[in-house]
Chain A
Amino acid sequence: MRWQLRIDPTACTGHGLCADLLPERIELDEWGFPIIHGDVGASLAGHARRAVRACPALALRLETKPRETTRRERS
C-alpha cells in the first residue's frame, strides 16, 4: 500500500509544520511553502498522518494511490 501527499495550494498558508514532521518527503521553499518529494510507503505512513493532522490550515491530505500506479512506480 502506498500513499500520496497532496497540498491544497489555496488553503496552505506556509506554517511549515509538515516539513518538521516529515522531512523525508516535504521540503520548504525559500518562502516557507512545502514541496513534496515522492510518495509515502508503510514505513513513513505514521509520520505522514501526523503531519496531516498537525496542519493548522487543513491543507495537507494523504490519499491512497490507485493500484496500477503503485505497481508501475514500484517496478
Chain B
Amino acid sequence: MSLHVEGAGEVGGQRMEARERSTRRLTVGWQHAGRPAGLREHLDLYGPLPAGRRGHLDPRSLIDAVAAAGLTGRGGAGFPTGTKLRAVAGRRGQAVVVANGMESEPASEKDQALLARAPHLVLDGAALAARAVGAQTVHICLDRNRRRQADEVIQAITERWEARLDEAQFLVHELPHRYVSSEETALVRWLNGGEARPAATPPRPYERGVDRAPTLVDNVETLAHIGLIARYGPRWFREAGRPDAPGTMLVTAAGSVRQPGVYEIESGTQIGQVLNLAEAVDVGAVLIGGYFGTWHDPRQVAGLPLTAAGLKPAGAAPGAGVLFALAEGRCGVSETARVLSYLARQSAQQCGPCQFGLPAIADDLAQLAAGRPEGDVLRRLERRLEVIPGRGACRHPDGAVRLAASALTAFSDDIRAHAARRPCPAAYRRSLAGLPIPRTEDEWR
C-alpha cells in the first residue's frame, strides 16, 4: 500500500500548486511516518480536542457543527452525517456507536491507510460521536485477517486509556472477511452475537441496533473528519471542496497508474485530475466507485467532479472513492466477468434473486468473456439485469447488477464481438494490472 500526500501533480499539462493547507488534513504528516502516529505526536499535530462547557464540547453544538460542515458519509452511501447523528441522538434509550473499519471493497485501501497512520484521529471522532449521541460504548469493527491493524488500534486505545482521555469505552471486534460483512446491518447482527450477514430493514440500526439500542454506524474516515470539524469548525471544513460537496476525501487510485495508492483530494476534484495525480497511463476504461460501481470511457468522465451530484448525469457515484484505471489492451468484459463471479460468491445466500441471480449473471458474462455464448446470451443477460435489482434484503444484488449493466454500455463494441464468438485477444491477457479478487473466508461468524 502506498500513500501519496504531496497534493501536487501534472494536471492538463500544467503544474498544479501544492495546496497543503487546504487539501492535506487527514493525511498531514503521513509522509514522515511508516507507522501509526502515537497519542503525543497526534496531539502535537492537531492540537487537543476542544473543551466546551464543563470542560466538554456539548452534544448539540457538536452535532450542529457537523451538520453545518456538510459532512457526508465516506463509506459509500454518502448520507449526511449531521442528520444521522441527530436521528440517533433523538431516539430514546442509551445509544451505541459503531466505527466501521471493515473496508471490504477489494480495490479500496483508504481506511486501512487511515488507520495505519492516524488511528487517534478516528478514535477522536468516535469519542466525539459517542458524546454527541450519548453513547458510552464504541464498537470498532475490523477485518479479522488484518491482525496488525487490530494490534495498532488496540495500542492506540491503550494510550488513550492511560491518558484518561475518553469517557466512552472502546471495544475492538474482528469480523470475518466477506464483501457484504461491512454492511451496517451485518455489523449490528454480528455485534449482537449473530452472523455477519446483512439483515432486512426496517428497523435500521439508528432505530434498533446493537442490544436493541439506537446505533450510529459510521465509516472510520467519516469519524476522522468529525475529529477535525470539532477542532477547527465547519467554516474551516468548507474551505476545501465545493458548496455541494465540502471538505476533503480519501480516494484509492489503482490499475494502470504509475503511482497507485491513497490520495487526499478536495471533494469536487475532477476524475482526470485524480488520474493524473496517480500518473495513469494508457487507460482504456475507468471503474468509478468500486465493485458496485460503473465503467466509463475516461475521455467522457475526465472533466466530471468526483462527487455524488457531479457523477449523477453519467450514472455514476463516488462510492468509497475508488478509481480503477483499466489498461488499454485489457479486456473489460473479462474483468467484469471475474468481478461478477466474485460478487456472486460473496452473496450472503439469504435472498433468492441474489443467491441464484448473481451466479446466472456471472455465468452469462463468463460465456461472453470466453466468446462461447450459449443461446442468445445478450438477451438473457439483459432480462436478468432487469429483474434482479431491488429484491434483496441488502443492496448487494443491486450493486452487482449495476456493474454488469455498465459493462454492457461501456464495452458495447467488445460485447457484440464477444457475443459473435470473436473475443478480443486481450481476453486472454493477464500481464497488465487487473482488478483484485481477494480470497475470502467461508465463515460468517
Contact = CB atoms under 8 A, between A and B. Distances in A.
B352 A13 contact: yes
A8 B387 CA distance: 17
Contacts of A9: 200, 350-353, 391-393
A30 B353 CA distance: 10
A32 B352 contact: yes
A12 B387 contact: no
Interface string B382-421: 0010010001110000000000000000000000000000
B264 to A, nearest CB: 38
B200 A33 contact: no
B53 to A, nearest CB: 42
B356 interface: yes
B350 A29 contact: no
Given A8-B200, A9-B393, A31 B350 contact: no
B200 A31 contact: no
How extensive is the interface on chain B, given as a class?
10 to 19
B393 A29 contact: no
Contacts of B199: 10
Of B351, B352, B356, B392, most buried by chain A (CB within 10 Å of CB) is B352
> Chain A contact residues (Cβ within 8 angstroms of B): what range?
10 to 19
Contacts of B357: 29, 31
Given A9-B352, A12-B352, A35 B393 contact: no
Contacts of A56: none
Contact of B350 (A10, A14, A33): A10
A13 B352 CA distance: 7
Nearest to B384: A30
Given A9-B393, A10-B200, A31 B351 contact: no
Contacts of A30: 360, 384
Interface string A27-47: 001111101000000000000
Interface string B355-387: 011001000000000000000000000001001
Contact of B387 (A7, A14, A35): A35
10 contacts: A7-B391, A8-B200, A9-B391, A10-B199, A10-B200, A10-B350, A12-B352, A31-B356, A33-B391, A35-B391
